[in-house]
Amino acid sequence: MTVTTLTRQDVVDFLYTEAKILDEWRLMEWPALFTDDGTYTVPPLGDPEADPTKSLFISHDNRARLQERAERLLKKEAHVEYPHSTTVHNYNNILVSNLDSDVITVECNFTIHRTKREVMDTFIGKHTYELVLQNGELKIKSKKVVLHLDSLRPHGKISLIL
């Protein structure tokens, strides 16, 4: 039996790899970072503890919907993202907890810059991850994105993956 020992650096490298995949628009690789029952949620602005059964979320996806989201964004019919935006995902203040347990908790602040048609938008907020080790690889069991914005103006829309 092989026991894999994870380090904080392994977790940080995993997060940076996810960011790189998103920035390089390798979106078909992104859902594979999640467990089969993995979830991706973006609660409504100003209500990070909202209940998805009672509030309208910006995103509340399971892995199948993540795959559909990625496929949709890569099609030419996704006019808002064709040609693709240029994005830079920056993660900082990365706090890793429960490294020795079955579910690793990670919190980090993020800044995402997007340029498109000579306009730059900046998204800021906090990511909360639950990571698990599956077949020797880290996988995302859940990813929650809390936007720290007063409103989506001037952004108007979120057509990228946060």
Tens-digit pLDDT profile for residues 42-85: 999 999 999 999 999 999 999 999 999 999 988 888 777 778 88
From CA 28, how far away is CA 26, in angstroms rounded?
6
- State pTM to two decimals: 0.91
pLDDT digits (tens, 9 = 90+) for 39-48: 999 999 999 9
- Comparing CA positions, the residue from 83, 103, 74 lying closest to residue 11 is 103
What is the pLDDT at residue 156? 59
pLDDT digits (tens, 9 = 90+) for 3-32: 568 999 999 999 999 999 999 999 999 999
CB-CB contact of 145 with 41 (8 Å)? yes
